[in-house]
Structure 1
Amino acid sequence: MNKDLIKEYWKLYHESIIAIVVVVVTIGSYFWDSTYSILLLLYFSTYYFRYNAKVADVQRLKAKGLTQEDADNIQFVKRWEQSRNEGKLSYCLFDGAIVQGGILAVFLCLFAIATFGVQQLFAEPSGMFMVVGGGYLAGGIIAGAVHLLLWNRNEARFIRLTQFEHLIS
């Protein structure tokens, strides 16, 4: 490992590292034995390697004369051009309602179970279908609506990044 990189990482993120380590070890030692606490500490140590990759990316961008914001904008334009070609319906329906709605449905179902209890919701066999179906329907509607708003925001950002007429005048 590069000692200078570790020092730089520590200088920038030492408060976060200490807080994470203290919280994880405290919670881990309370609920589990020390083996799980050690495994959690090893998991959080991977942040160093992610930071190392980020520093390498920044140095690569500086060599090209680009900033991180420039690289993010280039990546956004490439990704959004592909999503834009697929269409608004595909973006809102498939990316939003089906994929993100399914993820949101899991949390909505868990929230319903925590709020009303398993015995009350699953007293009859149809209760399970109502909770899961209702959660997926609500998640799909919410995620589809959010992706519709995101479409408009991303479209405006795409136009702002790709139209250069405002720079000429």
Structure 2
Amino acid sequence: MNSGFKTYLKISVKGFLLSSIFPFVLYFFVEVKSFVYISIIFNILGFVPGYYRYQDQLLFQKKLKAKGLTPDDLNNIAFVKSWDEIRKRGIIKYSLIDGGIFCGFALCGLFSLAALLVIKNMFTYIAADLSNMFNFIGYTYLAGATTGIIIYRILWAHNEIKFIRLTDPLH
């Protein structure tokens, strides 16, 4: 066995054990063995393609090293390019569109699920009247959009600092 295969085997066994935790925990609650068997089969089926991806990654890192680069350097270059495009749109569009609309929609779903799970009799309240359902959707979307705008405003400041650090030679 070559050392690359041994390393991949160590990594994949750790990954297999970590990915098996959820099916086994679920088995103790619902006692359905088929779910555990299916997850084990998918993990085993992913072993061979995973090895080839691992080999490709090692080859890629070797090529980067020959050029004097690291994967972090590539991530920084990609960040600078993408953030430069985002900066051109401006903070308002970034916060409102990306944060308020797109992230707000995802957060709306999370807030809805959380409210349904946490607040007792919420589902019966929503189902009682159509206006209650529309109010619930409106309030959760408003909460999600507001949270998304705040998060993306904070991200803007963080990404600006990172952008300046990566592009300004004096920092």
TM-score between the two structures when normalised by the length of structure 1: 0.81
Partner of 1:75: 78
Work out the number of aligned pairs and report it.
Answer: 165
Q: CA deviation at 1:49?
A: 5.5
Give the direction of change, closer, same or farther, for the CA distance of 1:33–1:154 in structure 2 (3 Å limit): same
Could you tell me which of 146, 155, 159 is aligned with 2:151?
A: 146
User: Is contact 1:102-1:136 (8 Å) kept?
Assistant: yes
What does 1:20-169 correspond to in 2, within 5 Å?
Answer: 20-24=19-23, 27=26, 30-31=31-32, 33=34, 36-38=38-40, 40-41=42-43, 45=47, 51-116=54-119, 117-166=122-171
Q: Distance in 2 between matches of 1:147 and 1:43?
A: 39
Q: Could you tell which deviates more after superposition, 98-107 or 12-21? A: 12-21
CA distances 1:72-130 after superposition (whole Å, capped 9, x unpaired): 11111011001001111111111111111111110101111122331123211111111
Q: Which runs of 5+ in 1 are unaligned?
A: none
Alignment RMSD? 2.8
Q: Distance in 2 between matches of 1:43 and 1:27?
A: 21
Q: CA deviation at 1:153?
A: 0.9
Q: CA deviation at 1:18?
A: 1.6
Q: Distance in 2 between matches of 1:105 and 1:42?
A: 37
Q: Distance in 2 between matches of 1:49 and 1:67?
A: 21
User: Is contact 1:97-1:144 (8 Å) kept?
Assistant: yes
Q: Which runs of 5+ in 2 are unaligned?
A: none
Give the direction of change, closer, same or farther, for the CA distance of 1:47–1:150 in structure 2 (3 Å limit): farther
Q: CA deviation at 1:31?
A: 3.3
The percent identity for this pair of structures is 32
- 1:65 partner SS: coil
CA distances 1:16-45 after superposition (whole Å, capped 9, x unpaired): 422323543563693362563355435764
Q: Could you tell which deviates more after superposition, 40-49 or 69-78? A: 40-49
User: Is contact 1:112-1:131 (8 Å) kept?
Assistant: no
TM-score between the two structures when normalised by the length of structure 2: 0.80
Q: Distance in 2 between matches of 1:160 and 1:118?
A: 49
Give the direction of change, closer, same or farther, for the CA distance of 1:54–1:97 in structure 2 (3 Å limit): farther
- 2:93 partner SS: helix
